[in-house]
């Protein structure tokens, strides 16, 4: 019999990327986004659970506007914390398992070696704080769950850095990009594949657990921008600047490279470097 799977935030970068990887033959899948699958509405979540009796939920729904969150604290809290609580309560009531996605922005950026799951978060932004609080909701629950922290998502879908660089690269001959924030870009498609590989392994988890996943190869946003221009064959010069020359409402970590050893061991993964994943992503995009 097919297992019942609910994918929330289905129109987001990760949600759309999952379509390629979750197996229709094995799973009976409900794809929802806002507003019909609004995770902040307790009764919406409860009714969907009563109707479908899900075995597993992949929560791709999130408030992801990092800078706007500084002035929309309640909205970010509602989606990234209260919405997660609704999903956890529903999962707990019927023994369903959960894959929840979190972020490298839970860290303060003071580290200088890749961050393991055991490192203590210290978020510096409203977005990071709400995502960390959402993690706590899952980690305190009595369910099988994987909280997968990831970083710098890009894809052919939605809004992301790759698409912004391609647009600027066609409009301008020169741009400036910060070179003092170091992290690891992650192709949403590679993360989607990892989520699909995690599905049958959730039962092996004794309770909720954190995993880190990103592509390989740390870089700065400046390095990332240069490779996007190069691979897109755009003649746009990229100048390195410090973050102090590009002030943003939300503070970002200076260093948020994730140590991915745990998920590599658990799923038997060979993670590819982001420039290789970027090449694949660009085959779906016209600059």
Ligand X SMILES: NC(=O)c1ccc[n+]([C@@H]2O[C@H](COP(=O)([O-])OP(=O)(O)OC[C@H]3O[C@@H](n4cnc5c(N)ncnc54)[C@H](OP(=O)(O)O)[C@@H]3O)[C@@H](O)[C@H]2O)c1
For ligand X, the closer of residues 69 and 96 by Cβ is: 69
**Could you tell me which of 52, 76, 37 has the C-alpha nearest to residue 2?**
52
* Chain residues 103-122 in contact with ligand X, contact rule CB under 6 A: 103
Print the binding letters for residues 144-183 with ligand X: x by CB under 6 A, - otherwise.
Answer: ------xxxx----x-------------------------
Q: How far is the CB of 173 from ligand X (least distance, A)?
A: 27
Strand-pair partners of 172: none
CA distance 83 to 13: 19
From 33-41, 118-126, 241-249, 256-264, give the range in contact with ligand X by CB under 6 A: 33-41
Q: How far is the CB of 64 from ligand X (least distance, A)?
A: 4
Q: Is 21 in the site for ligand X (CB under 6 A)?
A: no
Task: Phi first, then psi: give them for residue 251, nearest 5 degrees.
Answer: -80, 135
Q: How far is the CB of 111 from ligand X (least distance, A)?
A: 17
From 59-67, 202-210, 233-241, 273-281, give the range in contact with ligand X by CB under 6 A: 59-67
Per-residue DSSP letters for 168-216?
HHHH-SEEEEE-S-EE--EEHHHHHHHHHHHGGGGGG-SSEEEEE---B
Check if 127 is active-site: yes
**Angle, helix 161-171 to helix 221-231, in steps of 10 degrees:** 60
Q: Could you say which of 127, 187, 246, 255 is catalytic?
A: 127
Per-residue DSSP letters for 134-178?
HHHHHHTSSS-EEEEEE-SEE-SSSS-HHHHHHHHHHH-SEEEEE
For ligand X, the closer of residues 60 and 133 by Cβ is: 60
For ligand X, the closer of residues 158 and 240 by Cβ is: 158
For ligand X, the closer of residues 62 and 91 by Cβ is: 62
Which positions touch ligand X (CB under 6 A)? 8-9, 11-14, 33-34, 37-40, 60-62, 64, 79, 83, 101, 103, 131, 150-153, 158
Residue positions annotated with a catalytic role: 127
């Amino acid at each position: 019999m097919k297992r019942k799977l609910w994918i929330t935030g289905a129109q987001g970068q990760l949600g759309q990327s999952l379509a390629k990887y979750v197996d229709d033959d094995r799973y009976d899948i409900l794809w929802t986004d806002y507003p019909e699958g609004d995770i902040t509405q307790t009764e919406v979540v409860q009714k969907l659970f009563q109707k479908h009796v899900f075995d597993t939920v992949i929560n791709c729904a999130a408030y992801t506007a990092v800078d706007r969150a500084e002035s929309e604290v309640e909205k970010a809290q509602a989606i990234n914390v209260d919405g997660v609580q609704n999903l956890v309560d529903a999962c707990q009531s019927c023994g369903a398992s959960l894959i929840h996605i979190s972020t490298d922005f839970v860290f303060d950026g003071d580290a200088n070696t890749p961050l393991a799951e055991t490192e203590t978060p210290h978020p510096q932004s409203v977005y990071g704080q709400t995502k960390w609080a959402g993690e706590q909701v899952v980690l305190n629950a009595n369910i099988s769950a994987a909280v997968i922290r990831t970083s710098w998502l890009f894809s052919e879908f939605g809004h992301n850095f790759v698409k912004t660089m391609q647009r600027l690269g066609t409009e301008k001959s020169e741009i400036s990009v910060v070179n003092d924030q170091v992290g690891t870009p992650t192709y949403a498609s590679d993360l989607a594949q990892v989520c699909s590989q995690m599905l049958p392994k959730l039962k092996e988890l004794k309770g909720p657990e954190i995993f880190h996943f990103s592509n390989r190869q740390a870089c700065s946003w400046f390095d990332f921008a240069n490779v996007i221009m190069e691979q897109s064959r755009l003649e746009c010069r990229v100048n390195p600047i410090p973050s102090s020359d590009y002030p943003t409402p939300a503070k970002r970590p200076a260093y948020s490279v994730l140590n991915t050893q745990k998920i590599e061991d658990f799923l038997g993964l060979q993670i590819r470097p982001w420039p290789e994943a970027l090449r694949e992503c660009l085959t779906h995009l016209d600059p």
